[in-house]
Amino acid sequence: MDDAPTPDLQAGSQRGGTAGSVGPSVDDGIGDSITAILALQQRFRRQMQDVLGVDSSGLNAMIHLATVGSDSPTAIAGVLETSTAATSLVLNRLEAAGHISRQPHPTDRRKVVVAPAPESLASAYECVRPIIDGIDQLSAALTPAGRSTVAEFLEAVVHVYEKALRDAK
């Protein structure tokens, strides 16, 4: 038998509960903070798109290339979850804007490798640097136990998103 307390089904609609939540909710501000972070992340992505002059798919491709260095068009299509034809259009726009270059594959002349332009990586980094620096400062101010708790919580949030994505398919 479960000894857990009965959840308050109205908690999501109370002050401090997660806006638009359905069902039980803990009134601790975490849900509101995550909602605010998600909204700010969307606004930040749009700002980066404007600064870099790219669309959402172009930004996703650039983020991937910033992470891996260079990659094949087919691999980029997999990351973008689009066809290779649609990815070619994205890459054409990025190349025309000077964000990427296509280079011959180092070992297979039939293939092409897409590489990010160093200037574009620098511009993108300048956009995200204040956030990286701010989060680093917040993290450094935590105690080791606090840092561990936050890291565990955020990892659990990642797993919640991953499960929701798997279950939606």
pLDDT of residue 24: 61
Give me the pLDDT at residue 161, please: 94
Residues of the chain where predicted confidence (pLDDT) is lower than 50: 1-18
DSSP letters of the chain?
---PPPP-TTGGGSTTSPTT--S----SSHHHHHHHHHHHHHHHHHHHHHHHT--HHHHHHHHHHHHHS-B-HHHHHHHHTS-HHHHHHHHHHHHHTTSEEEEE-SS-TT-EEEEE-HHHHHHHHHHHHHHHHHHHHHHHHS-HHHHHHHHHHHHHHHHHHHHHHHHH-
**pLDDT at residue 21 in the model:** 53
pLDDT at 14: 41
| pLDDT the model gives residue 150 | 96
Domain 53-129 is in which class?
Answer: mainly alpha
What pLDDT is attached to residue 4?
Answer: 39
pLDDT at 144: 96
